[in-house]
């Protein structure tokens, strides 16, 4: 279809073909416990990387994708509104990440760290600027791998911090709609992978009907 759109070919030879997707099974989801979060943050704070601790903590506080946070600039942040603007997210759309007070505090600490390193913090500069290259970090993976090994959490991936953000929201009473908005999912079907974390919600809702019927009987 792309080749047709770009006029490399005139017609898609597979236009009417029935193509079945390979079965992929369930999404691998890993949620960190409170103790694991504490261990991971402690390990990150011991790494020589100047921003790793802040980066990991902000991922946990915002549910942002690693690339969204790694490539953001200071002019993408509106401290008055408490928002981080993402011009182009994974789904091809812009979105706004809600910043809690704790997130804003961590961003202020990032700026203080940058200033102590002599890294510019003007509006057009990246939030996480590599002091050596003055460019955004291409990855935080090497430093993160060292920290997770120190914390004895070898199976934890950076993306699991986003899963953990969602699980913490749900376990503290957030609705699936609220989680969808905070994660920036365009379709709620993407968010429904976390639905199993609502252990008693549906039963509780069913009990509403039973209670209403009892009142009607009285």
Domain segments of the chain as ranges: 33-217
Residue 213 pLDDT: 76
Residue 216 pLDDT: 63
Level-2 CATH architecture, domain 33-217 = Orthogonal Bundle (1.10)
Residue 208 pLDDT: 75
Cβ atoms of 14 and 5 within 8 Å: the answer is: no
Residue 201 pLDDT: 63
Which DSSP string do the residues of 82-141 spell out, in sequence order? TEEEESS-TTSS-EEEE--HHHHHHHHHHHHHHHHHT---STTSBSSB-TTTSSB-S-SH
Low-confidence ranges of the chain (pLDDT < 70): 21-28, 90-91, 199-203, 205, 211, 215-218
Residue 217 pLDDT: 56
Q: How far apart are CA 156 and CA 36, in angstroms?
A: 10
- 144, 150, 155, 156: CA torsion to nearest 10: -50
Q: What tens digit of pLDDT does each residue of 170-192 get?
A: 888 888 899 999 998 888 888 88
SS3 18: coil
Q: What residues contact residue 185 under an 8 Å CB cut-off, 6+ apart? A: 91, 191
DSSP run (H or E) holding 77: strand 77-78
Residue 188 pLDDT: 86
């Amino acid at each position: 279809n792309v080749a047709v759109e770009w006029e490399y070919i005139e017609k898609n030879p597979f236009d009417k073909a029935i193509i079945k997707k390979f079965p992929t099974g369930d999404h691998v989801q890993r949620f960190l416990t409170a103790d694991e979060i504490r261990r991971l943050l402690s390990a990150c704070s011991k790494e020589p990387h100047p921003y790793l601790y802040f980066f990991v903590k902000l991922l946990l506080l915002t549910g942002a994708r690693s690339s969204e946070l790694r490539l953001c600039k200071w002019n993408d942040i509106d401290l008055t509104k408490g928002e981080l603007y993402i011009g182009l997210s994974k789904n091809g759309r812009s979105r706004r990440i809600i910043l809690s007070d704790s997130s804003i505090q961590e961003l202020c600490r990032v700026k203080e760290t940058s200033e102590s390193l002599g890294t510019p913090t003007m509006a057009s500069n990246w939030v996480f600027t590599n002091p050596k290259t003055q460019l955004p970090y291409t990855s935080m993976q090497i430093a993160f791998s060292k920290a997770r090994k120190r914390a004895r959490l070898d199976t934890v991936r950076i993306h699991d911090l986003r899963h953990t953000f969602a699980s913490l929201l749900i376990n503290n009473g957030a609705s699936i709609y609220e989680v969808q908005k905070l994660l920036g999912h365009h379709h709620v079907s993407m968010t429904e992978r976390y639905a199993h974390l609502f252990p008693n919600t549906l039963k509780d809702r069913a009990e509403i009907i039973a209670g209403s019927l009892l009142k009607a009987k009285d």
